[in-house]
């Protein structure tokens, strides 16, 4: 976050200086075509998938995680902050309540689901953690952090084949994660050995 924020602020402060791009011309009638702005996550995930250097990939992964932990809603962002503070103070019930309120306000955003899943997991409620991470992944299927949590829960509950499939999916988005790559290789070998 320390690296990302100065870069973001620098780009944000230079944005007004950039000349506006000319609208694209439509091929059929010459009228200006309006293009929807690109999803910033798409570019972040493409960069992460292309990167083979593990340190560089870790920085990109952190940038994606930070992005997914934010909400465009000021109210939801505030509720998430309050939840973080409550959890840090050991007030888990309050933390969960704040996140539930955030989800009720914006059920179409993954941030509060992700946070609530982690709290449930940390406190041993694997079923609720799995429900929340499933909701987050339904909204953002590329969330490798969510995939990692889901795979960990599947492994802890005695479903190594299902966990392995989810870890493989994780590597589709974050191929430079050497630890997960080694884990997948070892687990594949272990499972192949059990089948023999």
pLDDT digits (tens, 9 = 90+) for 68-111: 998 899 999 999 999 999 999 999 999 999 999 999 999 999 99
- Could you tell me the fold of the domain covering 40-174? 1.25.40
Every domain of the chain and the residues it spans: 40-174
pLDDT recorded at residue 61 = 96
The rounded radius of gyration (Å) of the Cα atoms in the chain is 20
Q: Going by C-beta distance under 8 Å and a sequence separation of 6 or more, which residues neighbour residue 166?
A: 147, 150, 151, 154
pLDDT recorded at residue 38 = 74
Residue 114 main-chain phi, psi, to 5 deg: -60, -50
pLDDT recorded at residue 194 = 78
Six-digit token string for 91? 């007030």
**pLDDT above 50 for 15:** no
């Amino acid at each position: 976050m320390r690296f990302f924020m100065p870069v973001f602020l620098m780009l944000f402060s230079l944005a007004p200086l950039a000349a506006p791009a000319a609208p694209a011309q439509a091929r059929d009638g010459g009228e200006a075509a309006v293009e929807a702005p690109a999803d910033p996550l798409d570019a972040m995930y493409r960069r992460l998938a292309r990167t083979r250097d593990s340190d560089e990939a870790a920085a990109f992964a952190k940038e994606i995680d930070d992005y997914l932990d934010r909400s465009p809603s000021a109210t939801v962002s505030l509720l998430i902050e309050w939840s973080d503070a409550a959890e840090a103070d050991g007030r888990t019930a309050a933390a969960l309540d704040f996140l539930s309120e955030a989800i009720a306000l914006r059920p179409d955003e993954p941030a509060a689901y992700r946070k609530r899943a982690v709290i449930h997991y940390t406190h041993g409620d694997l079923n609720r953690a799995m429900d929340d991470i499933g909701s987050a992944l339904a909204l953002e299927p590329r969330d490798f952090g969510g995939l990692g949590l889901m795979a960990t829960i599947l492994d802890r509950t005695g479903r190594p084949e299902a966990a392995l499939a989810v870890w493989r999916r994780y590597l589709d988005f974050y191929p430079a994660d050497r630890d997960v790559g080694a884990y997948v290789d070892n687990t594949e070998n272990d499972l192949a050995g059990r089948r023999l």
